Structure 1
Amino acid sequence: MTDTRTNCAPTALTHFINGEHWTGTSSEVHQVRNPATGQQIAQAPCGTTADVDRAVAAAKAAFPQWSRRTPAERSELLLQAAEVVTTHAEDLAQLESVNAGKPMPLAREDVAGTIDTLRFMAGAARSQPGVSAGEYVAGRTSMLVREPVGVVAGIIPWNYPLMTAAWKIGPILAVGDTCVLKPSEQTPLTVLRLAELLDPVLPSGVLNVVTGRGSVVGEALATHPDVALVSVTGSVGSGKAVAHAAADSLKRVHLELGGKAPVVVFADADLEAVADGVVFAGFGNTGQDCGAACRILVEESVHDELVALLTARAEALVVGDPAEGEHIEMGPLVTEEHRDRVTGFLERAYAEGVRATTGGQAAGGAGFFMPPTVLVDIPGGAECVREEIFGPVVTVEKFTGEDAAIDAANDVPYGLSASVWTTSARRSADVPARLDFGTVWINDHLAFATEMPWGGFKASGYGRDLSAYALEDYSRTKHIMLNRTR
């Protein structure tokens, strides 16, 4: 892939509101950079409260007609939306690669996930479960109706901008809500392009995009009286800020936040498979994944062997600018600031006596690169095994005994995902039930099925993305009772 975007003047982006490009009410802009080169590729408007008011008003005006459409009608439009994305799949993948620093194979996977989500939600819109009507009080028939909540605000992260947008757009529109999206100011390109592409399919005002800072646009959405629900995918800090801002109006909040996924490896596991799985799920997307396989807990007797395998696999990864070609396996971190944050975690870890078997220092030159890093010799309670680094950094700790492994795995504030690696059928059936995480994989990590829910416990938030459970989160139940007495 030849990256021509960084060789021309930056693209001037706009908000997308009520089916139209909107320059906004402020002249302030945010520089959007290609993280592989550091070069500016676009300028996104810094949205204001007035811009949010305009977008919410458009969504509110579109809601009555959109919510009255039948599930079959909304389903058909979502299927058309999926076909539009399919038609433009390669262009969207290239845009995602340039803006988020993703290798092209990964960017294509994200587009495929976007398409699959829209298709699934189109089908789910027509088959929402409910309670059958019945007589629960003498002479009276009760019916349970599920209905849309109204205008929903979606706040999108920078690590999977296109796919997480689909995770919100799909169920929100499927149940009959209308939507205002705020993409990350670092990665707005694909979300804006998606809204533009879907404009001929969706009625004006059903899907709107306002770019800008979370402290302005996010807070305005969270406090807006006409927003019924705010859905956030992002850091724990972002989720807390939105939940706090939404509290005064008692609006509903849907939070998919951070993680610190333990990878529990027993001595009977296939260590080659573990190493391959960790390289994919720990270093894929440069470790910028809330479910990343970032914290390895390995039985002491096989610790050294697994560390050697992980180190060799990490050193074999091809790291570079995704524009160099399909052979690139890991790209840069998203911004210089984020690279500095990851470096700070490493420096503090070294001060605690932690050692890197490979990587461990930011790369020089253009772009925001950090080599894949494996950390060992970790003292109990170290920051690097408790806090989300969100970079290509994997820690390896020893354990002796199953109970100790489970206690250590659960001893983090997060509860999003975990994995267990063993060839024991009984252990495979028993250990997941003792792990306090929303998703637990067995002999795998970071495999998703659109039919299955994604979300966590504890500091990882509440609410579910994907699956039919997402439609429940974006709708409400109403009991209607009919008095039949005569």
Structure 2
Amino acid sequence: MAQSVSSIQARIRRGDGSPLVTAGDLAPSEHFVDGGFRPGKSGRTMDVVNPCDGTLFAQVPEGTAEDVDLAVAAAVAAKATWGRTVPKERSEVLHRIADRVEEHAEALARLESANTGKPLMVSRDDVAQSVDTFRFMAGACRALTTAASGDYAPDHLSVIRREPLGVVGIVTPWNYPLLMAVWKIAPILAAGNTCVLKPSEQTPLTTLKFAELVADLLPAGVFNVVTGDGPTVGGRLAEHPDIDMIALTGSVGSGRAVARAASDTLKRVHLELGGKAPVIVFEDADLAAAAESLRVAGYWNSGQECGAGCRVLVHESVAEEFVGHLVGQVETFVVGEPTAGDEVEIGPLVSRAHFERVTGYLERARAAGVRAAVGGTRIEGPGFFVAPTVLVDVPEGAECAREEIFGPVVTVETFGDEAAAVSRANSTPYGLSASVWTENSRRGLDLPDRLDFGTVWVNAHLVLANEMPWAGFKGSGYGRDLSVYALDDYSRTKHVMHHHAR
């Protein structure tokens, strides 16, 4: 079952040196505020690094609290007019944004891959999902339902109004720079809000490009981007008295920091945080199908995915057979740079710091007696590549099965009965997603109710739809992305009562 690291390394594909993008493909290296690009107040810049070789790729402004204040002032100035637009008008704007993104889909995908190192197949999927998110929200904002107007007290007519919140601050992560931004931008604008967005300092380029592409479609001040680090720019967004809500997709630590900073002004907080998704495989499951599904669900975007199926709990009677299937799937991965062809499925990790974090987990697991059935180590050479890995002989409570590694690593534990499987699955502090694999229809219907996760798949994993909500419980945060529930999160309800007795 074991495979040598050298045989994996031999499959690493390198490009021919041709760049995915040129300097002309980049948006201006400035903040986007009040409808146009503006230089940062500090004059300082932050480096953006190519994760395929560790070289400098671009630079963006190192934002300050003053930069944030200017962007917030623009959003405040724009909120009344934008908030008074009717859903039909906002819908038409969102449809035009979707058309513009689709028109430039390949350029955005190439820029996303150049910045993150992710394979083009992943980036193209991100852009396609971004287009669909705008189109869904464009329709959904015109069809909201609420409690019926009527007399609930004698001679008094009650009416429920849905209103924008005002200005929303957004902090987005590095793993899906464009898509996670769109998951926030689309419902926020659809609900009639304005916004100020801080992209990850590691992957800001597609967000700035998006701003450039849609600049003529939105009124000035409705959408703003300030680049910079989390404590400075994100911290100011979270504490700013003129921001009505802060929405973050990121780590649990970032979520705690944002929630603390937001508490002084009692603004709303929307958090989509980490995950450690259990994949419960019962003895009656289609083992080959489960392994084939995990080929995508466990390793998509090099495992840098909060919903990844990264923690397998398999019944002890079929564990060896299942691991054989999974290793067989992992051995077929094509690893390489996005310039090396459309067959590349696994790219580098996003940064040196994250690369060292993931390899640190692997080194500690090996020292603790956990065995790599395939992979298990870094791949020598330029860039931040880690071999796709399956860890076995994982004891209950092991660090690698408990903490979010966020790399191309799937752990395999065994269980003896259903109660143990449910208990072990729920033992994680995260509650984002999970899956159940069984051919027993009663079990498939009953078990999701006993799992403490916001999304539970049965005989599938990591299948998303814009019509359905995405978010978690416990340490995975609160608030909902996607679906009409997101529009609920980014709006407020007001009760208006009319005394009509005559």
Q: TM-score range by the shorter chain?
A: over 0.9
| Conserved? CA contact 2:21–2:111, under 8 Å | no
Is 216-225 or 276-285 further displaced after alignment?
276-285
Give the corresponding residue for 1:192. Answer: 208
SS at match of 1:396: strand
- In 2, Cα distance between the equivalents of 1:26 and 1:345? 37
Q: Does residue 4 of structure 1 match 2:19?
A: yes
Q: Does residue 146 of structure 1 match 2:150?
A: no
SS at match of 2:298: helix
Q: 1:104 aligns with which of 89, 96, 120?
A: 120
SS at match of 1:85: helix
Q: Does residue 337 of structure 1 match 2:358?
A: no
| Conserved? CA contact 2:30–2:40, under 8 Å | yes
Q: Offset of 1:485 from its aligned partner? A: 2.3
- In 1, Cα distance between the equivalents of 2:354 and 2:288? 31
- In 1, Cα distance between the equivalents of 2:383 and 2:23? 18
The one-letter code of the counterpart of 2:276 is K
Structure 2 matches for 1:255-266, cutoff 5 A? 255-266=271-282
Give the corresponding residue for 1:326. Answer: 342
Give the corresponding residue for 1:385. Answer: 401
Give the corresponding residue for 2:298. Answer: 282
Q: 2:136 aligns with which of 120, 126, 134?
A: 120
Structure 2 matches for 1:169-248, cutoff 5 A? 169-248=185-264
Q: 1:162 aligns with which of 172, 175, 178?
A: 178
- In 1, Cα distance between the equivalents of 2:18 and 2:480? 36
| Conserved? CA contact 1:354–1:376, under 8 Å | yes
- Calculate percent identity across the aligned residue pairs: 58
- In 1, Cα distance between the equivalents of 2:159 and 2:264? 32
- In 2, Cα distance between the equivalents of 1:82 and 1:379? 47
Q: Offset of 1:9 from its aligned partner? A: 11
- In 2, Cα distance between the equivalents of 1:6 and 1:179? 29
Give the corresponding residue for 2:480. Answer: 464
SS at match of 1:242: helix
- In 2, Cα distance between the equivalents of 1:466 and 1:124? 10
Give the corresponding residue for 2:42. Answer: 26
- Change beyond 3 A, Cα 1:279–1:240: same
The one-letter code of the counterpart of 1:113 is Q
RMSD of the alignment, in Å?
1.4
Per-residue CA deviation, residues 370-406 of structure 1 (Å, 9 max, x unaligned), is: 0101111112211111110000110000001111111
Give the corresponding residue for 2:391. Answer: 375
Per-residue CA deviation, residues 97-153 of structure 1 (Å, 9 max, x unaligned), is: 111111111111100000000000000111111111111111111111110010001
SS at match of 1:481: strand
The one-letter code of the counterpart of 1:16 is F
Per-residue CA deviation, residues 393-452 of structure 1 (Å, 9 max, x unaligned), is: 100000011111111111100000001111111111111111100000111110000000
- In 1, Cα distance between the equivalents of 2:271 and 2:477? 5
| Conserved? CA contact 1:30–1:185, under 8 Å | yes
Q: Offset of 1:275 from its aligned partner? A: 1.0
SS at match of 2:299: helix
- In 1, Cα distance between the equivalents of 2:23 and 2:192? 41
| Conserved? CA contact 1:352–1:379, under 8 Å | no
Give the corresponding residue for 1:310. Answer: 326
The one-letter code of the counterpart of 2:321 is E
Q: Offset of 1:4 from its aligned partner? A: 2.0
Is 29-38 or 2-11 further displaced after alignment?
2-11
The one-letter code of the counterpart of 1:104 is L
Q: Alignment length, in residue pairs? A: 486
Q: Does residue 67 of structure 1 match 2:83?
A: yes
Q: 1:296 aligns with which of 295, 312, 331?
A: 312
- In 2, Cα distance between the equivalents of 1:103 and 1:10? 18
Give the corresponding residue for 2:491. Answer: 475
- In 2, Cα distance between the equivalents of 1:65 and 1:254? 24
Per-residue CA deviation, residues 246-292 of structure 1 (Å, 9 max, x unaligned), is: 00111000000000000000111111111111110111100000000
Structure 1, unmatched stretches of 5+, are none
Q: Offset of 1:484 from its aligned partner? A: 1.1
- In 2, Cα distance between the equivalents of 1:431 and 1:460? 20
- In 2, Cα distance between the equivalents of 1:322 and 1:275? 25
- In 2, Cα distance between the equivalents of 1:460 and 1:255? 8
SS at match of 2:317: helix
| Conserved? CA contact 2:299–2:408, under 8 Å | yes
| Conserved? CA contact 2:53–2:384, under 8 Å | yes
| Conserved? CA contact 2:32–2:208, under 8 Å | yes
Q: Offset of 1:7 from its aligned partner? A: 8.0
Give the corresponding residue for 2:380. Answer: 364
Structure 2, unmatched stretches of 5+, are 1-14
